[in-house]
């Protein structure tokens, strides 16, 4: 296979929308930080996201539960 198993099973976060219309925004790495991906989740929907060579940050707008190996946090409260 032509993929790196460490990248495939690296750190990830689980984002569960607690209301309709939660926005998830991926931000790039490098000299200039830019938006590179957006998703919109409705209540109960879950997104599993990973930090990659291209993604340095994830911005969440709206009420959501975020779970990672570091614990749980809530946005929009």
pLDDT in tens, 5-58: 666 666 789 999 999 999 999 888 777 777 788 999 999 999 998 877 777 788
User: What distances in angstroms separate CA 41 from CA 11, 26, 31, 55, 58, one per listed residue?
Assistant: 21, 14, 29, 19, 14
The DSSP H or E segment spanning 8 is helix 5-8
Domain residue ranges of the chain, discontinuous segments joined by +: 5-75
The CA distance from 36 to 29, in Å, is 10
Please give the pLDDT value at position 51.
77
- pLDDT for res 2: 57
Q: What is the pTM of this model?
A: 0.79
Distance CA 56, CA 54 (A): 7
What fold characterizes domain 5-75? Answer: Immunoglobulin-like (2.60.40)
| Predicted local distance difference test score (pLDDT) of residue 14 | 94
pLDDT(72) > 90: yes
Measured between alpha carbons, how far is 70 from 47 in angstroms, rounded to an integer?
Answer: 17
């Amino acid at each position: 296979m032509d993929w790196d198993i460490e990248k495939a099973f690296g750190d990830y976060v689980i984002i569960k929308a607690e209301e309709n219309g939660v926005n998830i925004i991926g931000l790039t790495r490098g000299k200039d930080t830019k938006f590179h991906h957006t998703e919109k989740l409705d209540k109960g929907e879950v997104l599993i996201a990973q930090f990659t060579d291209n993604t340095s940050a994830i911005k969440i707008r709206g009420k959501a539960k975020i779970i990672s190996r570091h614990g749980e946090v809530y946005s929009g409260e």
